[in-house]
Amino acid sequence: MGRREDFQVRNSRGFLLECSYFEPTEVSNLKHPCLLYLHGNASSRLEGLHLLGSSVVYGFSLLLMDFAGCGLSQGEYISMSYFEKQDAKLVMDYVRNWKDVSEFGIWGRSMGAATALMTALEVDESIRYVVVDSCFVSV
């Protein structure tokens, strides 16, 4: 079905972010799209595991990350998308340099949805699509 690879990235604030990359074995040496899932407040990358089956079946790799202060990543606090958008960009850049990813899409829920919008609009205009689930408008 696919292969899981865990990795860490250090953000600009010095925190190690814990990430998981799931790649379908059929596309491991081919250019392929990647879906980055961004979790909600008080959650972790485990929240995105429900997308694993469908993404791998359709030839997408799946990228999951724990925001700083969440899951297994370092840090105590979240910023409700202010720093998280920079961290999402950092993780995507890391994967771009590591894997043969043709394009990125982002799926975010709650705080992750706000982060997805900010990342696509303010930080990385190369994102091809955004799925926004239960986004907040203001804090």
In this predicted structure, the answer to whether residue 138 has a pLDDT above a threshold of 90 is: no
Mean pLDDT of the chain: 94
Tokens standing for residue 111: 């705080």
Residue 34: how many CB atoms within 10 A of its CB? 23
Would the pTM count as exceeding 0.85? yes
Does 3.40.50.1820 match the CATH number of domain 2-133?
yes
In this prediction, residues 90-101 reach a mean pLDDT of 96
pLDDT in tens, 4-40: 999 999 999 999 999 999 999 888 788 999 999 999 9
Give the pLDDT confidence score for residue 125 in this predicted structure.
84
Q: Name the more confident of 133 and 27.
A: 133
| pLDDT of amino acid 87 | 98
Contacts of 94-101 with CB under 8 Å at 24 or more apart are: 94/7, 94/9, 94/19, 95/21, 95/34, 95/63, 98/7, 99/21, 99/23, 99/34, 99/61, 100/29, 100/30, 100/31, 100/32, 101/31, 101/32, 101/33, 101/34, 101/61
